[in-house]
Amino acid sequence: MLNQQTLDNNKNNDGNVEQQPSSSSSSIQLAEKISKPTKKFKRNSTYSLSSKNSDKKSSSSSSFKLFTTTATDLIIDQFLRFNQQTIKMINCLSCPSETDPQMKESNKNDKKLKQWNRNESEVINMLLLGAGESGKTTIIKQMKILHIKGFSHEERLKKLQEIKQNVFESIKELTSNMEYLNPPIELVNPMNQPSLNFIKKLDTTQMETYDYPDEFFEHTKRLWSDPGIQACYLRSNEFFLIDSAKYFLDMIDKIRNPDYEPSDQDILRSRKRTSELQKIEFKVKVPKQNGGKMQPFCMYDVGGQRGERRKWFQAFIGIKAILFVVDSSSFDTKLREDGKTNRLKESIDLFKEVWSSSYLNKSGIILFMNKQDILKEKIQRGHRIENYFPEYKDYKLPKNKHEVEEEYEYRKARDFILDKFFQVTKDRNVCKHRFFSHFTTATDTNNIKFVFDDVHYCFMKENFDYII
């Protein structure tokens, strides 16, 4: 690797190899070059490298250009980690005889260099953290779609039962809560009362073993078309309802079809509470100029509900990076566990706990401000953040020229929520981390691909062992 770098560095602009000085002098020059400190970020600093750029489209060619322009700096930074040892090794490489007294030291350093190369290909462990229903499991599914050839026919059929359970849960929650809202809601069409009675008699504890007859789907379809149920759905922030309720209730006829096989988007939208640690392993190709190898990743997803958080600390050892996922649209909803605590405030408190944890003082933290699509929809429907965060009234954000009002209101809400998490990172009394943030929609494969490529690039550029 060293000889190839030396060769590449001596090529002129025409691609020809320029005349090189003697082996000894070239070694000294290279040693002097890598011994000079390169520009690095300070250890105790906080950054948001991509939050402003996540809305912009990125092509593979632009990403390749970024890697190409920084390849030399990356190689120099990597060698710098072994500064003194590498300098000794380079000087030894110029020795003409294997009987030279320094040869033994050279062999030792050569072994260290080989070990370093092996370390570069070691698995990068990443831990997914965040409150319940934030979208962590959806990120895991996206990694499978993007990096592990997606879902097999058998896996899709298994997800079908999960989707049916989502339909069951959604219609049960809607019919069970409509009479308890203030003011309560009733069916508009009295002809749908038999369907309401049928659904109310179903036992939620039998959801996983229910055989889902066609009668169930017919009653569900009738209720979902009733304006009263639709009005209840629009007030679903007053009780717990999965985000994908409308998505699946709108496709009842498709789901009830015996030949139905879930698509990628259907699987991404399906929901199941995570109570056990999940792990996914995948590989991402490193750019050719940096070796062209496949970099292995291991991503862990742990339960986001309160009862599962005690298990998190068992997975902290050796974790290089934490992906903290936030449901940005949860500003007006309450926890499933207690029905009282604001879910966004719960996420902020949890982020504080993670940021200040002594177990994580060497971990980089990437913040995924997730569910931007739902946040935008809520803002456009008139949901008001100031009803839950009074300080929003005084939040100022410059308006872009020619920006329409509803787009500005969404951007203002988005940035306000992000700033809530930035404030945590500015606390001087707790440890600092490398910090990146992204606006994400976990069900959008293209968005997650761009974001993860950006995250991977940041890790490559900043050299994991130094910053994370």
Q: Say if residue 43's pLDDT is above 80.
A: no
Out of 116-130, 187-201, 363-377, 416-430, least confident range: 116-130
Residues 6+ apart with CB under 8 A from 330: 131, 133, 134, 342, 343, 344, 347, 371
Q: HSE-up of 262 (CA within 13 Å, CB side)?
A: 23
Q: Is 25 labelled a binding residue?
A: no
Global confidence as pTM: 0.71
Q: Which of 439, 145, 131 is nearest to 267 (CA)?
A: 145
Q: HSE-up of 242 (CA within 13 Å, CB side)?
A: 23
Q: Where are the domains of the chain?
A: 1-36+81-121, 40-77+123-133+310-329+339-468, 153-269
| From the candidate CATH numbers 3.40.50.300, 3.90.600.10, 1.10.400.10, 3.40.50.1860, the one assigned to the domain spanning 153-269 | 1.10.400.10
What is the pLDDT confidence band of residue 132, given thresholds at 50, 70 and 90? confident
Q: What gap in Å lies between CA 28 and CA 32, rounded to an integer?
A: 6
Q: Is 291 labelled a binding residue?
A: no
Q: Is 272 labelled a binding residue?
A: yes
Q: Is 304 labelled a binding residue?
A: yes
Strand duo 124-129 + 321-327: pairing: parallel
Q: Is 133 labelled a binding residue?
A: yes
Q: Is 137 labelled a binding residue?
A: yes
Q: Is 443 labelled a binding residue?
A: no
Helix (H, G, I), strand (E, B) or coil at 149: coil
Question: Which fold is adopted by the domain 40-77+123-133+310-329+339-468?
Answer: Rossmann fold (3.40.50)
Q: Is 141 labelled a binding residue?
A: no
Q: Is 269 labelled a binding residue?
A: yes
Helix (H, G, I), strand (E, B) or coil at 281: strand
- The string of pLDDT tens digits covering residues 212-254 is 999 999 999 999 999 999 999 999 999 999 999 999 999 999 9
Q: Is 20 labelled a binding residue?
A: no
Q: Is 411 labelled a binding residue?
A: no
Q: Say if residue 67's pLDDT is above 70.
A: no
Q: Is 132 labelled a binding residue?
A: no
Q: Say if residue 432's pLDDT is above 90.
A: no
What confidence score (pLDDT) does residue 111 get? 55
Contact 328, 379 (CB under 8 A): no
Q: Is 110 labelled a binding residue?
A: no
What is the pLDDT confidence band of residue 99, given thresholds at 50, 70 and 90? low
Mean pLDDT of 270-274: 85
Q: Is 29 labelled a binding residue?
A: no
Q: Is 208 labelled a binding residue?
A: no
- The string of pLDDT tens digits covering residues 382-418 is 999 999 999 999 999 998 888 899 999 999 999 999 9
Q: What gap in Å lies between CA 187 and CA 178, rounded to an integer?
A: 9
Q: Say if residue 3's pLDDT is above 90.
A: no
Q: Which of 161, 169, 266, 174 is nearest to 224 (CA)?
A: 174
Cβ atoms < 10 Å from Cβ of 367: 25
Q: Is 12 labelled a binding residue?
A: no
Q: Is 58 labelled a binding residue?
A: no
Q: Is 305 labelled a binding residue?
A: yes
What is the pLDDT confidence band of residue 295, given thresholds at 50, 70 and 90? confident
Q: Is 244 labelled a binding residue?
A: yes
What confidence score (pLDDT) does residue 290 get? 66
Cβ atoms < 10 Å from Cβ of 45: 12
Mean pLDDT of 270-280: 82
Q: Which of 2, 71, 15, 62 is nearest to 287 (CA)?
A: 71
Q: Is 428 labelled a binding residue?
A: no
Q: Is 301 labelled a binding residue?
A: yes
